Structure 1
């Protein structure tokens, strides 16, 4: 089977996300990354499929689980790893850590730690794009838990009223920390149905099928650029590791027995390897290149300096705390 450039491009970006997060998980016990990490292993197809339908001028905002979105959007690998180490060469100067990433050159505006917090930020960015008539859009990455926050409804309603150029990309991995969707929302509720009721064009897709995600995202982006207003995409997927940290947590028994294994059998990466028809030599070369890049990023982060204490108040709104 001949490999298409699209299939290989999607696979290569998924490999980048998976291998980087696996490396973070391996290095984390060394305690040089002194910030919490929320890994997306198992959810790579959702991030990559959405990001591939965006341009570098389009903006994206993300959540506490942001590494995959940052990398998929074209964020700088070296700056990401340095940021996790709190170094001055990090994408936020070492001040943000894992949950606060930004790469303006790649159109990755920001990620924030509070659930739902980035939603109004992204909608505000979309309003600015509309006022500037830029023709660009903003993608708001969110999880299923964020759809339970009041700010989601308020922001989605405002976006619908104003027909803002915003794409809500919802990764439904079934859990908010340890609470399954069944404990948080009534049986039979459809996330796409209530997004549609707000006034968003909505679609549901297999979040472990990167090409399916890309096709839906491409359609949504076209609708948005045509002035049809905001869209909502629900992607069913699953995180393999613990909510926060580099380890497996299946022994905690908050997931039904066998559920994790069932989802691992739907590994989005292996699915795309099979679909792409990538030959072994191509895969071997990509893996070798990624291994070199990732190793260099960790070596560089280890050698980089911490930000000086004199810069502690750089970039904050008020430096005279006595006014409070």
Structure 2
């Protein structure tokens, strides 16, 4: 499936905006945490997982989706949320724990939820599989032409919940696509030490469904494979499993010193970074010139900066509301 020029430009817009977003979030996260790193300090306490380098996995798939289609992501969700069209100011406010956030600042960056575009994510490994398969079942039962997509990491496929969900999706021929973002590391454990097979797309055979492997973090290859898988799902032909070889350009979390990586690995990954390569491709093929690309980048940065300003200026949640949406009020409690 060949991407049209407007789709190529949209994908670059979301990739560049996502990269800039993560860079801004990184800077905010580090406020108050230097020179001595303490995860509890600063305006953004707790863990933070950035998606720099994994942008092709998001845009290549979400280019084929509409707001009615369902997407669940994992604990590294920002690139997917941006590609799916999650409200950027509300998402940023949620990450910063503000009352104007998607969940009034009560959920944080690993539990973003935007019903307007059917997006959710979870910090629990493989937790998004069940909700996504459930959404796919609902679409099929209602006779709706929508698709559910679950994003997981390469280590998440070793979870029992992943296998159970994949099996049901295959048995019931649900409109479901599983995207495995294979960045080769489960925190500090290499894929070779955690997974019995070198490529997870081969697991699809165990469920009688197509399995696709995409090497080299290739945006156009992701777009083509996802387009075929999503079209197949919409036709009622069942799920597809897609594993994408991608690159995590940051640590597992902010503050991770990455001592587990072999010498020279990070430098090699930056040399293969898809964002500048994709930018050059747009210009070399005449899809865009430098001025248009610069305009796209500038507009994306402005959107991010505006979302951060909005969030910084938003009020903190009031303490009295901490349990308002967690426990139902009852005279019996």
| TM-score normalised by the chain length of structure 1 | 0.93
Q: Distance in 1 between matches of 2:267 and 2:235?
A: 42
Contact 1:209–1:271 at 8 Å: present in 2 too? Answer: no
Residue number among 119, 140, 155 corresponding to 1:145 in the alignment: 155
Maintained 8 Å contact 2:155/2:195: no
Query: What's 1:242 paired with?
Result: 251
Correspondences of 1:88-127 after superposition (within 5 Å):
88-108=99-119, 110-127=120-137
**In 1: Cα distance, 2:280 partner to 2:306 partner:** 29
Alpha-carbon contact 2:146-2:234 (below 8 Å) kept: yes
CA contact (8 A) 1:35 1:97 kept: no
Matched, 1:70 2:81: yes
Deviations 1:17-68 (A, max 9, x none): 1110111111111221224211010111111111112122101011111111
Question: Is this contact kept in 2: 1:64–1:99, CA < 8 A?
Answer: yes
RMSD: 1.8
Between the aligned partners of 1:105 and 1:53, the Cα distance in structure 2 is: 17
Per the TM alignment, residue 317 of structure 1 is displaced from its structure 2 partner at its CA by 4.8
Q: Separation in 1 of the partners of 2:216 and 2:81?
A: 17
CA distance in 2, matches of 1:207, 1:152: 25
Q: Matched residues in 2 for 1:93 and 1:282: separation?
A: 37
Q: Does 1:204 align with 2:213?
A: yes
Q: CA deviation at 1:319?
A: 4.4
Looking at structure 1, the residues matched to 329 and 186 of structure 2 have their Cα atoms a distance apart, in angstroms, of: 36
Could you tell me how far apart the structure 2 residues matched to 1:224 and 1:298 are? 37
Matched with 1:221 is 230
User: Could you tell me which of 255, 264, 267 is aligned with 1:258?
Assistant: 264
Which of the numbers 47, 50, 54 marks the counterpart of 1:36?
Answer: 47
Indicate which of 272, 277, 289 corresponds to 2:278: 272
Q: Residue 12 of structure 1 corresponds to which residue in structure 2? A: 13
* Partner of residue 25, structure 2: 24
**Unaligned 5+ residue runs, structure 1?**
none
Give ranges in structure 2 of 5+ residues lacking alignment: 32-41
Contact 1:7 1:275 in 2 (8 A): no
- Residue of structure 2 in register with 1:314 after alignment: 324
Q: Take 2:242 and 2:317, find their aligned partners in 1: how far apart are those partners?
A: 39
Q: Distance in 1 between matches of 2:331 and 2:212?
A: 47
Residues 106-155 of structure 1 show CA distances to partners (whole Å, capped at 9, x for unaligned) of 221x1111101111111111111111111101000111111000011111
Partner secondary structure for residue 104 of structure 2: coil
**1:291 & 1:184 partners in 2: Cα distance?**
38
Q: For the residues of structure 1 that align with 2:249 and 2:57, how far apart are their CA atoms?
A: 14
Give 1:308 deviation, angstroms: 2.1
SS state at 1:71 partner: helix
Q: Is the 8 Å Cα contact of residues 17 and 301 (structure 2) preserved in structure 1?
A: no
